[in-house]
A and B are shown apart, each in its own frame.
Chain A
Amino acid sequence: MDDYLMETAVSDDMQEYLIFSVDTIDFGIDIGLVQEIIEIQPVSKIPNALPFCSGIINIRGTIVPVLDMRIKLGFPPREYDDRACIIVIMLESELVGAIVDSVQDVIHISAQELSDSPAVSGDHLNYTTKIACVDDKIRQILNVPAVFGIDDEA
């Protein structure tokens, strides 16, 4: 075919995930989306905020909306301690922060270690579509478009 068409890059079936916990559950998020992890800090409230939105913060001059993952994922709210932090991810070329209870580490998960999430009841069931079992621990892989609502109409 045309010489200018690049072939798709060789895919590597290992992917890196950032593991964090909310309540008693360990979640994983594709590290490629993560821009940085910052300490929990005071947020400025926004008008008519929906329950899951804590407000906005100023990261080096950029205004970043911050979501409370406890509420977003359907856990009871709690005062955050100093282990809590904000995972800043890039969504549709904008930064969005997610407050989580704590961040664990970054692990490799291969495609073989991933399996479909068992059907659970509850209104947030499509928030994790895959689970990974690594070193005898279960990690739920976050379905980012579903959690952050970027697959539906804004």
Chain B
Amino acid sequence: MAKILIVDDAAFMRITIKNMLKKSAHEVVGEAENGKVAIERYKALAPDIVTMDITMPELDGLQALREIIAINPSANVIMVSAMGQEAMVREAIMSGAKGFIVKPFKEEGILSAIDKLA
């Protein structure tokens, strides 16, 4: 069982991911609607895994990822990307993201990714 932090500016996406994880053994310990909040929550909650949206206001997913990796170089961050974000996903991988999922994804997709890192 892993503690999970969901970062996404869209309430819709946070709810979707939460619902998908509901049936799994993992526990969603927190949510954040932008990169800034994500970093704070990461420090406060010390989650095992972070799902990180890329495009967000205030501080985007890439910058938040870098900050989190600076705090914990072995942090497990999964980027949540969409078609057309290839370049940013590339950068995320170079910056230490453990992998990525592509919207739209299915329950088994996100579960398999999280299970792997848990």
Asked if A and B are interacting partners, one says yes
The size of the chain B interface, using a CB distance under 8 A, is: 7
The size of the chain A interface, using a CB distance under 8 A, is: 10
Given A12-B19, A14-B19, also A31-B104 (CB < 8 A): no
Chain B residue nearest to A12 in the complex (CB)? B19
The CA of A16 and the CA of B12, in the complex, are separated in Å by 9
Chain A residue nearest to B15 in the complex (CB)? A16
- Is A34 interfacial (CB 8 A cutoff)? yes
Chain A residue nearest to B109 in the complex (CB)? A9
Q: Is the CB of A10 within 8 A of B107?
A: yes
The CA of A7 and the CA of B107, in the complex, are separated in Å by 12
10 A-B residue pairings within 8 Å (CB atoms): A7-B106, A9-B104, A9-B106, A10-B107, A12-B19, A16-B15, A31-B11, A31-B12, A31-B15, A32-B12
Nearest Cβ on chain B to A6's Cβ, whole angstroms: 7
Nearest Cβ on chain B to A9's Cβ, whole angstroms: 6
The CA of A9 and the CA of B106, in the complex, are separated in Å by 6
The CA of A32 and the CA of B19, in the complex, are separated in Å by 14
The CA of A14 and the CA of B19, in the complex, are separated in Å by 9
